[in-house]
Amino acid sequence: MSALLLHLMSSVVFLVAPSVDWVIAGRVVQGFATGIATTAFTAALAEVAPPNRKRVGVALGSVCLTGGLALGSLVTGLLIEYAASPNTIVFTGLSVTTCLGVVAIFYLPETITRPPDARPPLVARIAVPDAARAEFTAAAPVVVAIWMLSALSGGLAPALVHSFFHNSSGLLNGVSGFIAPAMSATVGLAIARRDPRRSMLAGILLSIVGAGVIAGSLGAGWVAAMIVGQAVAGAGFGASFTAFLRLTSPLVTPTQHAGIAAATYVLSYTAFGIPLVAAGSLTGRLGTAPTVWSYAAMAVLFALAGLQMQIRILRA
């Protein structure tokens, strides 16, 4: 509930923002809302899924997250290209959708029964239980790599369409933000019943290939190659992140789902945000292409580290 109310507040801020300072403030509020919502949503899916479908329920958390990002990017791109007031339409629509979500919350049952004498926690706990610590640690470099590439596709790629490839199409801008999460959602859904360890390995390799194609597209000056690279990297995200959730979720108790989900998304959003900010600050000094090449290389290094750890577990 608190996440939805914060999200509604951020949408209103975006609607009335008179300056860039207001936009930044709205993004901060939106970030808090997203972090709270994704943690609660992932934990809830793990708790309500039938005992024989726990892993599928957890996989849906990744699919819904990336599917929403894909839909938002595509719709926004279409509105920028064809609508007179895209900003108003987007954030009015988000506000209405959020209000519907607030209403729906009242009809959803609580997934955890709290003892009558238990005190409600004052602070949300971020915790990786001992039973899941080895699996979480082994996958952490992979999570960093795929979320860095997600930021490259969702944050840098739309800007590259305009600034580097000199294409002002709002539709192409939307497609560049749509393709990676769309592929991620599709692949995540397709592999929901596959062996998660092998899905993790396949996702790592796809992410490495995708990063290389994106980096190469800047050298070739070919925007279509960047889109292809984003699609491959998105498939890698879907395979790896879904596998990560499926590998860790069975190792924790129902009361521990929220803690490990919080740890997962703190790591994920840190990997999404901090490198992206660093890349933005370095672009003016190094140039666009060298910055993206360095960024992609760093993501590949994390992916390779994760690959080594996953192979070690597979051989153990």
CATH of the domain at 291: 1.20.1250.20
181-205: pLDDT as tens digits: 999 999 988 888 889 999 999 999 9
pLDDT computed for residue 300 by the predictor = 97
On whether residue 116 sits in a domain, the answer given is no
pLDDT computed for residue 217 by the predictor = 94
**Residue 59 tokens, joined:** 């996989």
Name the range with the highest mean pLDDT among 29-33, 150-154, 224-228.
224-228
pLDDT computed for residue 149 by the predictor = 95
- Number of Cβ within a 10 Å radius of residue 114: 11
Mean pLDDT of 44-57: 64
241-285: pLDDT as tens digits: 999 998 998 898 878 888 888 899 899 989 998 998 898 888 888
pLDDT band at 52 (very low <50, low <70, confident <90, very high): low
On whether residue 119 sits in a domain, the answer given is no
Q: Determine the distance from the C-alpha atom of residue 63 to the mean position of all C-alpha atoms in its chain, rounded to a whole number.
A: 10
pLDDT computed for residue 265 by the predictor = 87
Mean pLDDT of 69-76: 81
Residue 43 reports pLDDT greater than 90: no
pTM greater than 0.75 (yes/no)? yes
pLDDT computed for residue 83 by the predictor = 82
Number of domains in the chain: 1
Least-confidence region, from 108-117, 213-222, 224-233, 282-291: 108-117
pLDDT computed for residue 80 by the predictor = 80
Q: Which of 165, 158, 160 is nearest to 81 (CA)?
A: 158
On whether residue 120 sits in a domain, the answer given is no
- Give the domain extent around 220: 2-110+127-315
Residue 50 reports pLDDT greater than 80: no
On whether residue 117 sits in a domain, the answer given is no
pLDDT computed for residue 122 by the predictor = 43
